[in-house]
């Protein structure tokens, strides 16, 4: 399997950036089989952004792709935990951890 595609999104992910978030998620190449959504620079996330991430992850799952989400900020992780999306989005704390997880998934 090829090298994972890393999509970096930073800043505040709220309703004012919903369209931009969807566009960024849609920019992942069709042939990418492993995807890291790197949100390590995100400091705020709202339900609209979470919805976009969940819907995109669901679509990728249906397409046979594997995705991991990097979230470094404790507040963002807490919001994701309240919304019960930590496991659904395969959330880890660092890019290195995401790449290791994808490598393990590929090795199985």
Angle among Cα 51, 55, 56 to the nearest 5 degrees reads 115
pLDDT at position 1, please? 57
pLDDT at position 107, please? 63
Q: Which of 47, 106, 97, 104 is nearest to 70 (CA)?
A: 97
Q: Based on the number of CB atoms within 10 Å of its own CB, is 18 exposed (0-12), middle (13-18) or buried (19 or more)?
A: middle
What are the structural domains, with CATH classification, of the chain? 5-107 (3.30.750.24)
pLDDT at position 84, please? 80
| Parts of the chain with a pLDDT under 70 | 1, 107-108
pLDDT at position 82, please? 85
């Amino acid at each position: 399997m090829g090298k994972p595609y890393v999509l970096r999104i930073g800043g505040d992910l709220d309703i004012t950036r919903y369209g931009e978030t969807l566009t960024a998620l849609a920019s992942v190449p069709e042939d990418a089989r492993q995807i890291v959504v790197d949100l390590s620079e995100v400091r705020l996330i709202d339900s609209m952004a979470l919805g976009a991430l969940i819907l995109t992850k669901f679509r990728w799952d249906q397409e046979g792709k594997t995705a991991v989400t990097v979230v470094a900020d404790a507040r963002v992780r807490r919001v994701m935990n309240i919304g019960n999306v930590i496991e659904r989005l395969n959330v880890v704390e660092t890019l290195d951890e995401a790449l290791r997880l994808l490598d393990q998934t590929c090795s199985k």
